[in-house]
């Protein structure tokens, strides 16, 4: 699951890079950029960031302050990882709740982007998918850490 979310986020970023290149070239060569390229970039990058979160957490790719933890015992490192994942799961759940509330508000108010009139709530829904994946990963890591001996 995390790989697919990450791949989709990466594909989204590649499409944004391609679109930006075409838009800049169109602006320079023909005086005609892609209409709404800023809106598409804004929405797609926001979605991609949320989609990268589960994979990054699953692979341990987040920033770790090894300078402080390298001298800790393995047991204390596991405890710290446990606390981190519990807090991060809580953060994902809280932010997911707020995204649901915000997405419903955007849906009900028919909020759209300025140039292309893209419905904004779709980006909220895509962000929620990334946060749900992050929550699942954090809970899985917590369960795994609790199952390890010495915690």
- The total of structural domains in the chain comes to 1
How much is the pLDDT for 149?
Answer: 66
- Rounded Cα distance between 71 and 81, Å, is 15
Instruction: For 112, list phi and psi in degrees, rounded to 5.
Output: -135, 165
Q: Are 2 and 138 in contact (CB under 8 A)?
A: no
3-state secondary structure (DSSP) of residue 49: helix
Please tell me whether the overall predicted TM-score, pTM, comes out greater than 0.95 for this model.
no
Q: 20-37: b or e for each residue (b if 16 or more CB lie within 10 Å)?
A: beebeeeeeeeeebbebb
How much is the pLDDT for 101?
Answer: 98
pLDDT band at 61 (very low <50, low <70, confident <90, very high): confident
How much is the pLDDT for 150?
Answer: 56
* Count, residues in the chain: 151
Domain region containing 43: 2-147
How much is the pLDDT for 77?
Answer: 86
CB neighbours (10 Å) of residue 89?
20
């Amino acid at each position: 699951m995390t790989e697919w979310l990450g791949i989709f986020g990466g594909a989204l970023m590649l499409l944004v890079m391609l679109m930006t290149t075409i838009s800049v070239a169109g602006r320079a060569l023909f005086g005609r950029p892609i209409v709404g390229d800023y809106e598409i970039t804004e929405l797609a990058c926001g979605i991609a960031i949320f989609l990268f979160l589960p994979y990054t957490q699953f692979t341990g790719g987040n920033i770790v302050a090894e300078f402080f933890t390298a001298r800790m015992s393995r047991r204390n490192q596991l405890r710290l990882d446990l606390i981190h994942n519990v807090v991060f799961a809580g953060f994902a759940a809280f932010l997911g709740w707020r995204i649901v509330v915000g997405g419903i508000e955007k849906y009900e108010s028919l909020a759209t982007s300025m140039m292309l009139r893209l419905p904004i709530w779709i980006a909220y829904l895509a962000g929620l998918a990334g946060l749900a994946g992050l929550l699942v990963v954090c809970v899985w890591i917590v369960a795994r850490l609790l199952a390890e001996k010495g915690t």
